[in-house]
């Protein structure tokens, strides 16, 4: 039987979550760790797909729009780009599982410039569960693209965070009111 759900754990890296991270959500992001790992365990046990789209950059890239907006972050091969805490341990234990995969992304959305939509359609996935950071940036842009591609959305509000509390709250409302997502 094919499962039609996938979990996207978006950008849960040291640079976005750890105290010393370049663009950290700090404590708000750190509090998500156990919830994200539990969610990954539950979905893995159910045979669902688990993807970890992970931001990657080259410092001071003159062709990348984020260079003007944010300090260098999630640089390939750096400590900052490594998965944060318990998720790093979970991924080390499960990266060989057939339904678990990490991949690079260079834009806010996990769909932009990646083969994510192709992977999901090959696997007949129609529902995406979103977790990770930042609620109002990469999670939001991924959700908008997923909506435009026809996916059903489930946002786990205890598994998303931002460094901007007002942006976080706005995005949670936007998921429901504009994208028709289920926020649980």
Residues 60-79 pLDDT 10s: 888 888 888 888 899 999 99
How far is the C-alpha of 73 from the C-alpha of 55, rounded, in Å?
A: 9
Count of beta carbons in the 10 Å neighbourhood of residue 181: 21
Instruction: Please report the pLDDT score of residue 32 as a whole number.
Output: 97
- Tell me the domains of the chain and their CATH numbers: 5-183 (3.40.50.850)
Q: What is the pLDDT of residue 2?
A: 53
> What pTM was computed for the model?
0.96
> Looking at the predicted structure, is the pLDDT value of residue 88 above 50?
yes
């Amino acid at each position: 039987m094919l499962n039609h759900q996938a979990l996207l754990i978006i950008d849960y890296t040291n640079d976005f979550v750890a105290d010393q991270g370049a663009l950290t959500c700090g404590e708000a992001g750190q509090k998500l760790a156990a919830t994200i790992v539990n969610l990954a365990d539950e979905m893995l046990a159910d045979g669902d797909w688990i993807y970890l789209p992970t931001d990657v950059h080259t410092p001071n890239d003159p062709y990348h729009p984020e260079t003007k907006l944010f300090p260098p972050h999630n640089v390939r091969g750096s400590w900052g780009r490594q998965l944060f805490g318990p998720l790093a341990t979970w991924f080390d234990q499960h990266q060989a599982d057939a339904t678990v995969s990490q991949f690079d992304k260079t834009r806010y959305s996990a769909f932009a410039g990646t083969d994510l939509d192709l992977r999901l359609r090959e696997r007949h996935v129609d529902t995406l569960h979103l977790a990770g950071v930042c609620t109002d940036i990469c999670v939001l842009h991924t959700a908008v693209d997923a909506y435009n591609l026809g996916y059903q959305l489930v946002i786990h509000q205890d598994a998303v965070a931002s460094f901007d509390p007002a942006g976080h709250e706005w995005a949670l409302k936007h998921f429901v009111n504009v994208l028709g997502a289920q926020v649980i």
